[in-house]
Amino acid sequence: MNKKYAALGISAALTTSLLAACASTDETTSNEGSDDSNVVNVYSSRHYDVDQQLYKQFEEETGIKVNVVEGKSDELLERLNTEGESTEADLFITADAGNLYQAKEAGHLQAVDSDELESNIPAKYRDTDNEWFGLTKRARVIVYSKDRVKPEELSTYEALTEEQWNGKVLVRPSENMYNISLLASFIEVNGVDEAKEWAKGLVNNMARDPQGNDRDQAKAVVAGEGDVAIMNTYYMGLMLNSEDEEEKKVAEELGVFFPNQDTTGTHVNISGIAMTKASKNTENAQKLMEFMSEPSAQEKFASVNYEYPVNESVEPNELLQSWGEFKEQDINLSVLGENQQEAIRIFNEVGWK
């Protein structure tokens, strides 16, 4: 007898705790299964407080509740891969066109036909089939030590492989998406062989084994480990506005140089938004996409991270304006995804850690 009670008791305890677990998330998730509920579900790899404020503002204006899973791009993408058509996500927000391309290739996205999106977002920052839309853009530039390098000495990404920069170039490891996309763009602009030569040449000129993140490259330049670093523009913005005085000091000793102005243009990437093919709340999702492309949202969304807004009617942040305008690589950003695998292979082959 007793044994049965124990078994019963244990199963009861298990059930109760499981029910308790789901009941507590019930308020936000119970109605996601139905078609006409007033929600939109977002997988986002951005984690800024401003995003939350914008979602809240959207909720107030439209009455549509925004549910968010924040994660890293890779994980969210893999989650979409696994969930396939049964995903609960309506929208996917992520950095790097390479990631958006992957989602499209895997068949997770659907085209969105919206005049508002098309007028707010220039064609080169949209997918050719309108399956994804850029929201912000960032440039991958060369930063240099104001003490030791004159901007006149700098010209192109390719020039960094020359003898002059031997042992002076700093860049982060190759597993990073920004580097993969950078090389992917070179494969498009210069061809596979030249891109590989460039990677080989750069490895040869590195000041140290690649390590750390973009900010670490900036610090290493100021510390004198190297003279120039390849990094994204917004990290300069973040460092100049850091709570940490020392980080500010570092950034103030660095200059920003937009390479390849006379040739192929500076590498630009985006963060963007896309609607999932399996979306159950397509109307709400489209409303949120349009909302994000509007000038008022664009301004906040871009400036919090010192990025350039894609909507051309919106001025970038003052700091970005102070760096001046620049010529961008003239490629459709889809190629960053198309050449991704090739880029990873090249990195492995030339021994870029």
Residues 227 to 266: which contact other proteins by CB under 8 A?
A: 235, 238, 242-244, 246-247, 249-250
Longest dimension (CA), the chain: 89
Which one of 133-141, 258-266, 314-322, 345-353 is the stretch in contact with other proteins (CB under 8 A)?
Answer: 345-353
The reply to whether 51 sits near other proteins by the rule CB under 8 A is no
CB-CB neighbours of 324 under 10 Å: 8
Q: How far is the CB of 18 from other proteins (least distance, A)?
A: 6
Per-residue tokens: 132: 């994804």
* C-alpha closest to that of 267 among 215, 219, 349, 198: 198
Residue 51 Cβ vs other proteins, minimum distance, rounded to whole Å = 12
Q: How far is the CB of 34 from other proteins (least distance, A)?
A: 6
Smallest gap from Cβ 182 to other proteins, in A, equals 15
* Piece of the chain touching other proteins by CB under 8 A; list 209-217, 253-261, 294-302, 311-319: 209-217
Q: Which stretch binds other proteins (CB under 8 A): 65-73, 146-154, 252-260, 266-274?
A: 65-73
Q: Which stretch binds other proteins (CB under 8 A): 61-69, 137-145, 160-168, 323-331?
A: 61-69
Verify binding: residue 12, other proteins, rule CB under 8 A: no
Distance CA 226, CA 206 (A): 8
Question: Total number of residues binding other proteins (CB under 8 A)?
Answer: 77
* Residue span binding other proteins (CB under 8 A) among the ranges 64-72, 141-149, 186-194, 316-324: 64-72
Q: Is 210 in the site for other proteins (CB under 8 A)?
A: yes
- Cα dihedral 180, 170, 262, 302, rounded to 10, equals 60
Task: Indicate whether 192 belongs to the interface with other proteins (CB under 8 A).
Answer: no
Amino acid symbol at 212: G
Q: Which of 315, 334, 339 is nearest to 124 (CA)?
A: 334
276 belongs to the binding site for other proteins (CB under 8 A):
no
Question: Binding to other proteins (CB under 8 A): which residues in 85-124?
Answer: 86, 88, 102
Q: Does 22 bind other proteins (CB under 8 A)?
A: yes
Shorter beta-carbon distance to other proteins: residue 13 or 123: 13
Which C-beta is closer to other proteins: that of 74 or that of 194? 74
Residue 133 identity (one-letter amino acid): F
Among 38, 119, 164, 211, binds other proteins (CB under 8 A): 211
Instruction: Name which of 24 and 322 has its Cβ closer to other proteins.
Output: 24
